[in-house]
C-alpha cells in the first residue's frame, strides 16, 4: 500500500474519532515519524502531503534534513526524542518544534541557543503520566513549578504538553493516560503561570491514535502505520 493510500485510511479513522468525540478534523495535526525509514521514504511521505516530519536523533535525521532542503513544500521538522543538552546546538534552528522538554538544564540550553539565533522555539513539555521507569518526562506534580521556570525564557514558547502512553494491545487501556494529560494542560492554563495559553497535546501513536483523538490530541506522532519500518535505513 502506498503512503498516500495509508494516509487516506488514517485520515478516515481520525475523522471517525472526531465524529465520536465532537471534534473538528482541522484541529488535529499529523507528525509522520520517519526515524525508521530512509530519506527516499521520507521524501515520498512529504510528496504524499505529510509536511510535518518527526525524528528523534540528529545524527540519523541529518542526511534526510539535508536531502529534503530543496523539496517543495519544505518539510517542517519535529524533534520527538530525548534531547541531550550537548545536541541542542544541532537541533534548535533546524527543527520547528521540540516535543521533549523535560528538565531545567535542557530548557536553559534551548533558550540560550534560541536567543543566539534570534528565534523562539515552540516546545512541548514532556510529562510521564503513566509513571513508568522507562519513560522520560516530568512527574505530573512537577509540571506547574517547571512551567514557572520556563515562563521567563524568551527563547521558548510552551506549545503544550506531550506524553507517551504504555504500549498495550487494547488502546482503551491508554485512555486514562491521555485524559490525564488533557487535565494537566487545563490545570496548567488555569494556573496562568505562562505568558500565553498552552493549547497543544502531543499524544497518540500508531497503535492508539484514535483514543488520543477522542481525548483531545492536537498532534499525533504516527510512524509505522503511515510510512512503515525499514530494516536498514541508509
Q: What does each of the 234 residues of the chain score in pLDDT, given as a tens digit?
A: 999 999 999 999 999 999 999 999 999 999 999 999 999 999 999 999 999 999 999 999 999 999 998 898 999 999 999 999 999 999 999 999 999 999 999 999 999 999 999 999 999 999 999 999 889 999 999 999 999 999 999 999 999 999 999 988 999 999 999 999 999 999 999 999 999 999 999 999 999 999 999 999 999 999 999 999 886 555
* Torsional sign, CA 98, 137, 30, 53: positive
Residue 21 to residue 94: CA distance in whole angstroms: 35
- Identify the helix (H) or strand (E) that includes residue 39: helix 39-47
Spatial separation of the C-alpha atoms in residues 46 and 77, rounded to whole Å:
11
Give the integer Cα–Cα distance in Å for 42 and 194: 35
DSSP 84: -
Spatial CB neighbours of 140, under 8 Å, sequence gap ≥ 6: 127, 128, 129, 180, 184
Question: Using N-to-C axis directions, what is the helix angle for 143-151 and 175-191, rounded to 10°?
Answer: 50
Task: Please give the Cα distance from 42 to 54 (Å, whole number).
Answer: 10
pTM for the whole structure:
0.96
- The closest of 41, 35, 47 to 99, measured between CA atoms, is 35
Do you know the residue count of the chain?
A: 234
Delineate the domains of the chain, giving CATH numbers in brackets.
3-227 (3.20.20.10)
Beta-bridge partner residues of 97: 78
Q: Parallel, antiparallel, or unpaired for β 156-162 and 52-55?
A: unpaired
| Stretch (H or E) spanning 121 | strand 121-126
Amino acid at each position: 500500500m502506498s503512503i498516500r493510500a495509508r494516509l487516506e485510511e488514517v485520515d478516515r479513522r481520525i475523522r471517525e474519532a472526531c465524529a465520536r468525540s465532537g471534534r473538528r478534523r482541522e484541529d488535529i495535526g499529523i507528525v509522520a515519524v520517519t526515524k525508521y525509514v530512509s530519506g527516499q521514504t521520507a521524501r515520498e511521505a512529504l510528496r504524499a502531503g505529510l509536511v510535518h516530519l518527526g525524528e528523534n536523533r540528529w545524527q540519523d535525521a541529518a542526511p534526510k534534513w539535508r536531502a529534503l532542503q530543496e523539496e517543495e513544500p519544505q518539510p517542517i521538522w519535529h524533534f520527538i526524542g530525548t534531547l541531550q543538552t550537548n545536541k541542542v546546538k544541532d537541533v534548535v534552528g533546524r527543527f520547528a518544534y521540540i516535543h521533549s522538554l523535560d528538565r531545567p538544564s535542557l530548557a536553559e540550553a534551548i533558550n540560550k541557543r534560541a536567543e543566539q539565533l534570534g528565534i523562539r522555539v515552540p516546545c512541548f513539555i514532556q510529562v510521564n503520566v503513566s509513571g513508568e521507569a522507562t519513560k522520560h518526562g516530568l512527574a505530573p506534580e512537577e509540571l506547574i513549578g517547571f512551567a514557572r521556570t520556563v515562563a521567563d525564557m524568551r527563547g521558548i514558547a510552551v506549545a503544550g504538553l506531550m506524553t507517551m502512553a504504555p504500549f498495550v494491545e487494547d488502546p482503551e487501556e491508554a485512555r486514562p493516560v491521555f485524559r490525564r494529560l488533557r487535565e494537566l494542560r487545563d490545570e496548567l492554563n488555569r494556573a496562568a503561570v505562562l505568558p500565553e495559553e498552552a493549547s497543544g497535546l502531543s499524544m497518540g501513536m500508531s497503535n492508539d491514535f484514535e483514543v488520543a483523538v477522542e481525548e483531545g490530541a492536537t498532534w499525533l506522532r504516527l510512524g509505522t502505520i503511515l510510512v512503515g519500518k525499514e530494516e536498514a535505513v541508509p
